[in-house]
């Protein structure tokens, strides 16, 4: 009897709480926990992708879970140049190309440029020519290599071989182009762009740029409404109010459809990925004792089926680029097709050997881990969108293209039609900030020109005697040669070579780090911690590149929360 009474009392209390509004808050994923308002309602309002699970892996990439590691710890230091001082670093999770960018991939890029910016038109000629790899890198004064000069880039026999002859600048431009093409495809799949617009509706005045689409979507494709505003029925987030007005016409970052950009990996990311520590929990290896991207201390496999086979493509000795034919051969004399050797534990191929690879960093001998030990990178140059007088973003047109003549004499386009013009940030962004104070942070705390008390006198030799110029040169920590390219009144290039014998270094703000050994290097350079540098506007027959992409959201795929 008592139990029946108690049950009736509880039932009455429950009904009373319900009638007075004392109910549990809604757990609907489309109900705001901040205001209680509805998200993604048909009546409009805040639109947000509440179904997002995790970042989709973009074409060609593999996931690299971040963590801590000892950067710069080499097993051998025969150079004794204090260039690889070990430092403990932490890397955020990211994605990286499973292979180097191949000739076939780069040829797709050249084909797109040739169609959109025909080199037959004088205003566009330098765009295509500026993207072409330097095939003359194969030549040698005492070697017969013309077959590579003529065929390596374009012949299908080398299609899956890593592209070479590409400068750091060209590698960055390829990464930017790739970002736009992948996001263009993502938006087309989601119904925000007309099908096949990326092929049928593109010309110099009607191109797609990711940044332009985010900031001024109606101006992409030259404002062609047929392309950027197709049938709303194919899109997921288009809402129509009582008056027939549409919202959600364009994809935003909130939709999760637009992926982060392809880019060159930082040196720290590249080294971490090359070590392949994902499946290794041995204490000594975790503390930096791993010598190669694979397990073990040797370059030959100890697996039963392939015992004795070389695990990478590198120069094995003087006059020995592959071994004895048919026995103990690494399978290549120059480069080799990608995926010819086993991947590391992250699933990355050729992180040692085949070709060395450009990374994003400006080179300095010292890593300033005292200031930063998280996602370390030297090379930040912060810019912002240029604005018109009416406050809208400034879109580059064919008449706005700016061409730069590099110290090598090669002409490249600094910007392309359809992109948003960029300008350096100013004090409006830096005032009272403690984390950055200028647009160009390349020289921050590095001890070179900007850090010197003689900075104001650098490169200012005007009016000095020969002795004064000599003193001015020797004061500089990184007094590399200053070659200059100018043009006369007729547009002819005038090359000024700096032949002063007071120059003591090749280090400046325009040299970039490259990592990994190549087909042309001895075993010593296969160690992922080894580092070298090369001018960003020059190319070789042994440096290629691969792209990376930042990860957004959870650090680990296995820890990504799923929604009910």
Q: Which long-range contacts (CB under 8 A, 24 or more apart) does 322-331 make?
A: none
For 149, counting Cβ atoms within 10 Å of its Cβ (0-12 exposed, 13-18 middle, 19+ buried), the class is: middle
Helices 103-116, 168-189: inter-axial angle, 10-degree rounding: 80
The residue ranking higher by pLDDT, 172 or 277, is 172
Contact yes or no for 66/94 (Cβ under 8 A): yes
Q: What is the pLDDT of residues 291-344, one digit of tens each?
A: 888 777 777 666 666 665 777 888 888 998 887 776 667 788 999 999 999 899
Residues in CB range of 224: below 8 A, 6 or more apart? 201, 206
Q: What's the pLDDT at 92?
A: 96
Q: What's the pLDDT at 461?
A: 56
Q: Flag the least confident range among 28-37, 65-74, 111-120.
A: 28-37
pLDDT above 50 for 17: no
Q: Which long-range contacts (CB under 8 A, 24 or more apart) does 45-48 make?
A: 47/237, 47/239, 47/247, 47/248, 47/252, 47/254, 47/255, 48/254
pLDDT, mean of residues 489-514: 85
Q: State the Rg of the chain over Cα.
A: 28
pLDDT above 60 for 473: no
Greatest mean pLDDT among 27-36, 250-259, 262-271, 288-297 lies in 262-271
Greatest mean pLDDT among 101-110, 401-410, 554-563 lies in 101-110
Q: What's the pLDDT at 449?
A: 62
User: The tokens of 259 are what?
Assistant: 């992926």
Q: What's the pLDDT at 480?
A: 84
pLDDT above 80 for 460: no
Q: What's the pLDDT at 475?
A: 47
Assess if residue 530 is contained within a domain.
yes
Q: How far is CA 58 from the centre of its chain?
A: 13
Please, which pLDDT band fits residue 24 given cuts at 50, 70 and 90? very low
Q: What's the pLDDT at 337?
A: 96
Q: Record the pTM.
A: 0.87
pLDDT above 90 for 431: yes
Q: What's the pLDDT at 301?
A: 67
**Residue 333: left if φ>0, alpha if ψ -120 to 50, beta else—which one?**
alpha
Q: Which backbone phi and psi does 62 adopt, to 5 degrees?
A: -125, 155
pLDDT, mean of residues 31-56: 84
Assess if residue 161 is contained within a domain.
yes
Q: What is the pLDDT of residues 506-534, one digit of tens each?
A: 888 999 999 999 999 998 899 999 999 99
Assess if residue 370 is contained within a domain.
yes
pLDDT above 80 for 356: yes
pLDDT above 50 for 28: yes
Q: What's the pLDDT at 277?
A: 77
Residue listed under structure tokens 């998200």: 39
DSSP secondary structure letters along 41-80: BTTBS----TT--SPPPPTTEEEE--EEEEET--S--TT-
pLDDT above 50 for 132: yes
Assess if residue 91 is contained within a domain.
yes
Give the CATH number for residue 548: 3.90.1580.10
Q: What is the pLDDT of residues 181-238, one digit of tens each?
A: 999 999 999 989 988 877 777 888 889 999 999 999 999 998 888 888 886 555 555 5
Measuring CA to CA, how many Å separate 434 from each of 119, 401, 438?
Answer: 47, 35, 11
Q: What's the pLDDT at 30?
A: 84
Assess if residue 48 is contained within a domain.
no
Q: What's the pLDDT at 161?
A: 98
pLDDT above 80 for 443: yes
Please, which pLDDT band fits residue 559 given cuts at 50, 70 and 90? low
Q: What is the mean pLDDT of the chain?
A: 84
Q: Which backbone phi and psi does 181 adopt, to 5 degrees?
A: -70, -40
Q: What's the pLDDT at 311?
A: 72
Assess if residue 49 is contained within a domain.
no
Q: What's the pLDDT at 1?
A: 52
Contact yes or no for 249/232 (Cβ under 8 A): yes
Rounded distance between C-alpha atoms, residue 127 and residue 396, angstroms: 14
pLDDT, mean of residues 400-424: 91
pLDDT above 80 for 240: no
Number of domains the chain contains = 1
Assess if residue 179 is contained within a domain.
yes
Range of the domain at 323: 54-189+251-379+517-557
Please, which pLDDT band fits residue 451 given cuts at 50, 70 and 90? low
User: The tokens of 444 are what?
Assistant: 């921050």
Assess if residue 423 is contained within a domain.
no
Please, which pLDDT band fits residue 448 given cuts at 50, 70 and 90? low
In percent, the amount of the chain with pLDDT more than 90 equals 53
pLDDT, mean of residues 4-31: 53
């Amino acid at each position: 009897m008592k139990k029946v009474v108690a049950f009736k009392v509880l039932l009455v209390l429950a009904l009373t709480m319900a009638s007075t509004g004392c109910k549990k808050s809604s757990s609907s994923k489309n109900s705001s926990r901040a205001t209680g308002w509805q998200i993604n309602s048909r009546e409009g309002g805040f639109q947000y992708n509440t179904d997002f699970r995790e970042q989709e892996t973009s074409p060609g990439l593999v996931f690299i879970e971040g963590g801590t590691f000892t950067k710069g710890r080499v097993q051998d230091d025969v150079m004794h140049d204090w260039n690889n001082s070990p430092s403990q670093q932490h890397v955020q999770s990211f994605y990286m190309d499973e292979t180097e960018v191949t000739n076939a991939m780069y040829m797709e890029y050249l084909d797109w440029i040739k169609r959109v910016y025909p080199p037959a038109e004088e205003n566009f000629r330098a765009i295509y020519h500026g993207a072409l790899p330097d095939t003359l890198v194969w030549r040698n004064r005492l070697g017969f290599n013309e077959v590579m000069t003529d065929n390596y880039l374009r012949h299908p026999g080398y299609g899956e071989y890593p592209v070479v002859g590409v400068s750091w600048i060209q590698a960055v431009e390829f990464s930017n182009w790739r970002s736009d093409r992948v996001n263009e495809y993502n938006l087309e799949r989601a119904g925000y762009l007309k099908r096949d617009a990326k092929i049928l509706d593109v010309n110099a005045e009607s191109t797609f740029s990711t940044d332009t689409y985010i900031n001024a979507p109606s101006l992409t494709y030259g404002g062609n409404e047929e392309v950027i505003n197709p049938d709303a029925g194919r899109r997921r987030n288009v809402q129509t109010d009582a008056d027939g007005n549409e919202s959600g016409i364009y994809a935003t970052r909130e939709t999760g459809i637009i992926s982060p950009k392809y880019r060159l990996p930082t040196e720290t990311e590249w080294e971490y990925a090359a070590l392949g520590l994902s499946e290794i929990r041995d204490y000594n290896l975790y503390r930096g004792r791993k010598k190669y991207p694979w397990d073990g201390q040797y370059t030959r496999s100890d697996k039963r089926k392939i015992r004795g086979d070389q695990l990478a493509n590198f120069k094995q000795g003087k006059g020995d680029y592959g071994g004895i034919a048919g026995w103990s051969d690494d399978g290549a004399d120059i480069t080799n097709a990608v995926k010819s050797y086993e991947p590391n534990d992250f699933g990355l191929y050729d992180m040692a050997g085949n070709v060395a690879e450009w990374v994003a960093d400006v080179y300095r001998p010292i890593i300033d881990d005292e200031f930063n030990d998280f996602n370390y990178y030297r090379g930040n140059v912060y810019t912002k969108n240029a604005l018109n007088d009416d406050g809208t973003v400034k879109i580059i047109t064919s008449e706005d293209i700016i061409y730069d003549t590099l110290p090598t004499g090669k002409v490249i386009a600094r910007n392309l039609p359809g992109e948003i013009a960029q300008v350096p940030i100013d004090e409006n962004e830096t005032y009272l900030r403690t984390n950055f104070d200028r647009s160009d942070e390349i020289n921050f705390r590095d001890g070179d020109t900007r850090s010197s008390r003689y900075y104001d006198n650098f490169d200012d030799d005007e009016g000095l005697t020969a002795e004064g110029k000599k003193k001015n040169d020797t004061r500089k920590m990184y007094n590399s040669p200053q070659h200059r390219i100018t043009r006369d009144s007729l547009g002819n290039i005038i090359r000024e070579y700096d032949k002063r014998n007071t120059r003591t270094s090749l280090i400046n703000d325009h040299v970039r780090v490259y990592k990994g050994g190549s087909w042309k290097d001895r075993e010593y350079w296969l160690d992922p911690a080894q580092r070298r540098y090369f001018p960003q506007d020059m190319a070789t027959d042994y440096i290629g590149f691969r792209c990376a992409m930042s990860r957004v959201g959870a650090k680990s795929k296995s820890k990504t929360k799923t929604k009910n």
